[in-house]
Structure 1
């Protein structure tokens, strides 16, 4: 009988592409570098600098988020300079002997930095009619924009009926069929029909009342604009707060709405009765421990995601919190598990990824949570594996690797699970002369950056190190005090 083959030790992901040093500087300088690298033209033939209205040209060009399109061909990133950049992944992304240098195919300028965006769920690069994204801007309608040729395809006004001011959505979400979308504002969720251009919402659903309801009336909260809330103002069913995140269950259309008041509202399908079925209140957790590993109390929900084979589990992440909660919606009274060690004790939004498959070969993991931290490290949790560490219910990361010198603002897992993309950046104070000294004036030096950045970063990241050293990213390649950019990793 053959001896069992020992499992290979885990290796850090391999860097296969990145934006290099172009954006590791101020906004104005990054535009100059980008123009030189692109040879003065981009795929959509638009001189975006004429329409960018960002006033702080010397500020750090932070990458706020990055995500894969539905067909897995492109990356879409939101940056501090009020632009949405689309990067098309090279066909030989995984086979090239050296990392690719990513340059944007198209740049979509917006008047202000988007509060939130939502990619069309059937995005297909070969079909320009599907390359759409919803954007939420301050004091403007919700816009549907085309990413391949940046222009506004449709507008959806969301106006307060009495003050006539524009309401700003803090969360946007397409439905599973791409025919409708939801927008979350202060204590309201709005349902729009995509085909009704220049029209307001079909319905506006209230999650709570401003005035205290009458104590004599006890009526369940339903997902309706005419809802009469619970009998006491302290009841979780009367939630007055900004709807900061939305997610839909792809099987039964159950809607989860996260708020800055640390509550998650669970509704049945908003296209049927839309009844409030559960409320997860993070302020009233039953699982309390003096030895809780990390900051237990966050400052508002920023990310939600259904996971598990049947989608019965909900991942909840907060700002100003070093933990991620996992709830079993069949018994949501208390957290099913607490994922510790996230390193996200900041008000800056650090995205969390959820995927059914992670990695390749025998080392493939199922149903994992992936998140970046302020230390530039990406951590991976496998909450459904039998082995646990630490106190019961508290799970430490199963894997982790260094991805940036600045906070990792987003971790996007490819639809096929074998590639992930990370974005990074942070606003920092810097002396003008220090930033000016890092500028490159010669055109040929752009080519030098293209050739040298990837090998420098890859050698540093693949050097390994102990768990104690995994957060030391001081040696990462970079020509300035900022590490803004997108990197793509093969698992």
Structure 2
């Protein structure tokens, strides 16, 4: 059995900062609240209305993602209203007796909600030339934008040679040296030179041909050069959207995940870039060591691939899947471990993180996987903590805590490992925070007014109780029930309350 949560050592994370209720409403209303909180000026003294114009876009202002800058001073979040917000965390983040209220220092507009972004790997707040991010939007070039003083620094057009339409990358990735970046589209990976402004890719590599390869052919085209690698697998012809990219920073090996549930592994893109292996999640042979492998854990396309610190293992996460796979790249033909209990059976993209260091003091852990679920709970696994043979490689979370009332869309561990940031939100049609007509059959208008007041008071009470709820510990269950049921007491019913925001936790 997996180890139980060590309650005598582990303490639930402490909420140290958050965006409050500013974005817990519709997009237009959230803009009004944000402008009032900022007094009409963003942190870089730009007029709010010059950046954020009035909009009639419907829906809630969902936070799609959040990530730490490389220097650990800032958080960068992508929201549903087509903006990228940069939050600078206060220097007394961990010493303040009360949680800080986060307001954006800068707001960067994009034409549409970005398909994907990639933050400059050497981001340093004190050097404005490094505070940049790559963005991919529909029917637009790839843009390099400065986040502190929002403007487009450079454009990199990616155009289909015959149709002359813009290709939209679903994945972007800076190389280790940040002199180049990679962009993944439908069955292609493109290599760009950052210094070549307003220019297309210097190389375009195809992962699969439209026509099926000759059955007698055993050659796999080299990804980055003209040489070949011999293989007998038909998976070498992989036609699918390149949904995620990851580099092993020790030896620069590249992993490319696709919506067809395959992971393409290449040697260094700086050298030969040879296709070395393919992990096919559709192949049941990769699961043969799991005698009771449940069918319901099958996902619907890879959204995250992450190398571990030593580069020997790969973390693979999918949409519409309640598990996270781990592969030992020395034996990629079989799943090495299955992390269960993720609770992410949704098409909404819920990010997964791997971190070499997590926590502080006696509760510090090394080499953990962290993921949020649709139930608003963040779960932490220790894949290298060991498990007994009879468990067949299934691993339950070591720890978990309530982070939001809506799905946790992203989890980001601070570079030093002692602070965790989460983003949350979900598209909803109902909102109790707005006034609605009541079709009550009550006997008098007084009763209707009382009912409305009770409803508003209930919502207000939920907000007031949030601070204490999120810091309460979820004790581990002694029964063999699914651990996801532990979050039932803190989940809300379908009352339409939106929980969009960013929160920062001290571990």
Q: Same fold (TM over 0.5)?
A: yes
Alignment of 1:95-114 (within 5 A): 95-114=95-114
| Cα shift readout 1:71-96 (whole Å, capped 9, x = no counterpart) | 00000000000000000010000000
Partner residue in 2 for 1:485:
501
Q: Distance in 2 between matches of 1:291 and 1:55?
A: 51
Q: Deviations over 1:40-66 (max 9, x none)?
A: 110234456566689653311000000
Report Cα offsets for 1:363-400 as digits up to 9, x if no partner. 21110000000000000000001245972200000000
In structure 2, the CA distance between the partners of 1:475 and 1:165, relative to structure 1 (3 Å rule), is closer
Q: In the alignment, is the contact (CA less than 8 A) between 1:142 and 1:158 conserved in 2?
A: yes
CA change 1:22–1:184 in 2 (3 A) is: same
Q: Please list, as runs of the form range in 1=range in 2, the aligned pairs for 1:54-93 lying within 5 A after superposition.
A: 57-93=57-93
The answer to whether residue 386 in structure 2 is matched with residue 369 in structure 1 is no
| Contact 2:307/2:313 (8 A) holds in 1 | yes
Alignment match, 2:206: 206
Distance 1:26 1:194 in 2: 37
Taking the TM superposition and a 5 Å limit, the aligned residue runs for 1:57-206 are: 57-206=57-206
Look up the match of 1:307.
308
Q: Please say if 1:470 is aligned against 2:470.
A: no
Query: In the TM superposition, what whole-angstrom CA distance separates every residue of 1:112-163 from its partner, at most 9, and x where no partner exists?
Result: 0000000000000000000000000000000000000000000000000011
List aligned pairs for 1:225-374, cutoff 5 A: 235-286=234-285, 287-288=287-288, 289=290, 291-292=292-293, 295-308=296-309, 310-374=310-374
Secondary structure, aligned partner of 1:324: strand
Q: Match for 2:470 among 461, 466, 478? A: 461
SS in 2 for 1:283: coil
Single out whichever of 362-371 and 215-224 deviates more from structure 2: 215-224
Q: Which has the larger displacement, 389-398 or 264-273?
A: 389-398
Q: Is the 8 A contact 2:258 2:302 kept in 1?
A: yes
Residue pair 1:210, 1:240 contacting (<8 A) in 2 also: yes
Q: How does 1:394-433 map to 2 (within 5 A)?
A: 394-430=394-430
**Cα distance change on mapping 1:189 and 1:43 into 2, 3 Å:** same
SS of aligned partner of 2:37: helix
Tell me, yes or no, if the aligned pair for 1:115 and 1:169 is still in contact at 8 Å: yes
Aligned position for 2:21: 21
Distance in 2 between residues matched to 1:79 and 1:241, nearest whole Å: 27
Using a 3 Å threshold, how does the CA distance of structure 1 residues 294 and 11 change in structure 2: closer, same or farther? farther
Alpha-carbon contact 2:356-2:367 (below 8 Å) kept:
yes
Q: Which runs of 5+ in 2 are unaligned?
A: 1-5, 437-460, 477-484
Q: Tell me, what secondary structure is at the counterpart of 1:371?
A: strand
Conserved 8 A contact 1:320-1:347 = yes
In structure 2, how many angstroms separate the alpha carbons of the residues matched to 1:225 and 1:161? 21
**How many residue pairs get matched?**
468
Change (3 A) 1:193 1:221: same
Distance 2:44 2:262 in 1: 42
Distance in 2 separating the partners of 1:54 and 1:34? 12
Q: Deviations over 1:6-52 (max 9, x none)?
A: 98342110000000000000000000000111111102344565666
Helix, strand or coil for the counterpart of 1:470? Answer: helix
Going from structure 1 to structure 2, the CA distance change for 1:322 and 1:469 (only over 3 Å counts) comes to closer
Deviation digits for residues 224-252 of structure 1, max 9, x if unmatched? 387889998x7111100000000001011
Residues 417-441 of structure 1 show CA distances to partners (whole Å, capped at 9, x for unaligned) of 000000000001116xx44239xxx
In structure 2, what is the Cα distance between the partners aligned to 1:181 and 1:411?
Answer: 24
- Runs of 4+ in structure 1 off by over 6 angstroms are 225-232, 452-455
Change beyond 3 A, Cα 1:390–1:214: closer
Q: Distance in 2 between matches of 1:392 and 1:350?
A: 26
CA RMSD of aligned residues (A): 2.6
Q: Deviations over 1:281-311 (max 9, x none)?
A: 0001332556436832100100011114x21
The question of whether the paired residues in 2 share the 8 Å contact of 1:388 and 1:395 is answered with: no
Distance (whole Å) between structure 2 residues aligned to residue 471 and residue 389 of structure 1? 31
Aligned: 1:436 with 2:452: no
Conserved 8 A contact 1:203-1:225 = no
Q: Deviations over 1:342-365 (max 9, x none)?
A: 000001000001100111112211
Task: Name whichever of 6-15 and 371-380 sits farther off.
Answer: 6-15
SS of equivalent residue, structure 1 residue 236: helix
Cα distance change on mapping 1:281 and 1:418 into 2, 3 Å: same
